């Protein structure tokens, strides 16, 4: 069966099958090879793309901008100060206006509801560049990196350490359960993921042959891990909780001891960046031979380009 994603939005991996996710990863690998060879097929020539940013960004902004330009499209950056989104104008009205002018819309901001309204009312593909609930473009980059390192996604033991209810933990659990990975969250019980989401992901895992384990025991959780992944302990907008978070998450720091506790000399370390070194990860680990964080950062661009080409390309 061939995969056709034309006109689809990319809001959460809940909306995508394992086959479609793998297709996007493979397309990204192909586009990366072509870029390295100097081949640009201009799959989005003549298209105009709106990039809406309520939250600042390095990787997401650069990835969408370069992805557009490589494929022949024009990116238009719109910060929260440039447009009236949800302030003087409803999200629905902004969506309808932008949908008549642009061929695709990226949104990076706070509310998952906002990105869903943009998709519902704009009539063009909308791509989630991050919300408080989800971060699906990052997960594609993570899976691409895993496939490059291990040659497969299914069957990988993937351990996420830290804040088990933030957007990265959510997005990774959705993606991993769809793809048949053995997915573990190691976190303090006070930061366990939402039970409804865990149940949904367990239903995906049942279908894909994967497993989900949530545990507060770091050493037990990382045994046999192929991947250890972490994210910042204090998410954007939660700065007032910093001291309390650092105290409760200190035992979940990714350091040499935790990496060695896997018993697997080929374990890789991943992080979506930006990282707060010596908090969620030690400098020794992020700069060490197991770290693939900069491959992963580069792959944001290739996977975001793949999403745009697949959904809004010619």
Residue 92 confidence (pLDDT) above 70: yes
13-134+297-312 and 138-294: identical CATH topology: yes
270 Cβ neighbours under 8 A, 6+ residues apart: 142, 145, 227, 228, 229, 292, 293, 296
Q: What is the pLDDT of residues 26-67, one digit of tens each?
A: 999 999 999 999 999 999 999 999 999 999 899 999 999 999
**Alpha carbons 140 and 28: distance in angstroms, whole number:** 9
Q: Catalytic: 62?
A: no
Catalytic entry in 112, 142, 272, 302: 272
Q: Catalytic: 100?
A: no
Domain extents for the chain? 13-134+297-312, 138-294
pLDDT at 238: 78
Residue 10 confidence (pLDDT) above 80: yes
Q: Catalytic: 142?
A: no
Catalytic entry in 103, 163, 231, 302: 231
Q: Catalytic: 300?
A: yes
Q: How confident is the model at residue 80 (pLDDT cuts 50, 70, 90)?
A: confident
* Range from 155-169, 228-242, 296-310 carrying the lowest mean pLDDT: 228-242
Pick the CATH number of 13-134+297-312 from 3.30.390.50, 3.40.50.1370, 2.60.120.260, 1.10.760.10: 3.40.50.1370
Which pTM value belongs to this model? 0.96
Q: How much is the average pLDDT of 235-240?
A: 78
Catalytic entry in 8, 59, 245, 300: 300
Q: What is the pLDDT of residues 124-140, one digit of tens each?
A: 999 999 999 999 999 99
Q: What is the CATH number of domain 138-294?
A: 3.40.50.1370
Question: Do 105 and 98 touch, CB atoms closer than 8 A?
Answer: yes
Catalytic entry in 108, 245, 271, 302: 108
Catalytic entry in 138, 201, 271, 302: 138
Catalytic entry in 135, 245, 271, 302: 135
């Amino acid at each position: 069966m061939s995969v056709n994603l034309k006109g689809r939005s990319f809001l959460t991996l809940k909306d995508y099958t394992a086959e479609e996710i793998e297709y996007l990863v493979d397309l990204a690998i192909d586009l990366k090879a072509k870029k390295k060879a100097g081949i640009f097929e201009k799959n989005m020539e003549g298209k105009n793309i709106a990039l809406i940013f309520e939250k600042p960004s390095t990787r997401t902004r650069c990835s969408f901008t370069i992805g557009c330009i490589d494929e022949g499209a024009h990116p238009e950056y719109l910060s929260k100060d440039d447009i009236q989104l949800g302030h003087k104008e409803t999200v629905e009205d902004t969506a309808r206006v932008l949908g008549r002018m642009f061929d695709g819309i990226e949104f990076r901001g706070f509310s998952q509801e906002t990105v869903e309204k943009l998709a519902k009312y704009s009539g063009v593909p909308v791509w989630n560049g991050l919300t408080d609930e989800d971060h699906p473009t990052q997960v594609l980059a993570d899976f691409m990196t895993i496939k490059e390192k291990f040659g497969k996604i299914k069957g990988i033991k993937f351990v996420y350490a830290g804040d088990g209810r933030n957007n990265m933990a959510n997005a990774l659990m959705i993606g991993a359960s769809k793809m048949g990975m053995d997915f573990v969250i190691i976190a303090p019980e006070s930061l366990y993921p939402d039970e409804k989401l865990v149940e949904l992901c367990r239903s995906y895992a049942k279908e894909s042959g994967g497993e989900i384990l949530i545990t507060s025991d770091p050493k037990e959780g990382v045994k046999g891990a192929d991947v250890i992944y972490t994210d910042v302990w204090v998410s954007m907008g939660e700065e007032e909780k910093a001291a309390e978070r650092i105290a409760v998450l200190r035992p979940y720091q990714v350091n040499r001891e935790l990496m060695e506790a896997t018993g697997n000399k080929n374990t890789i370390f991943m992080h979506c960046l930006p990282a707060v070194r010596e908090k969620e990860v030690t400098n020794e680990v992020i700069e060490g031979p197991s770290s693939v964080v900069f491959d992963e950062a580069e792959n944001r661009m290739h996977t975001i380009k793949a999403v745009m080409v697949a959904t809004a390309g010619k």
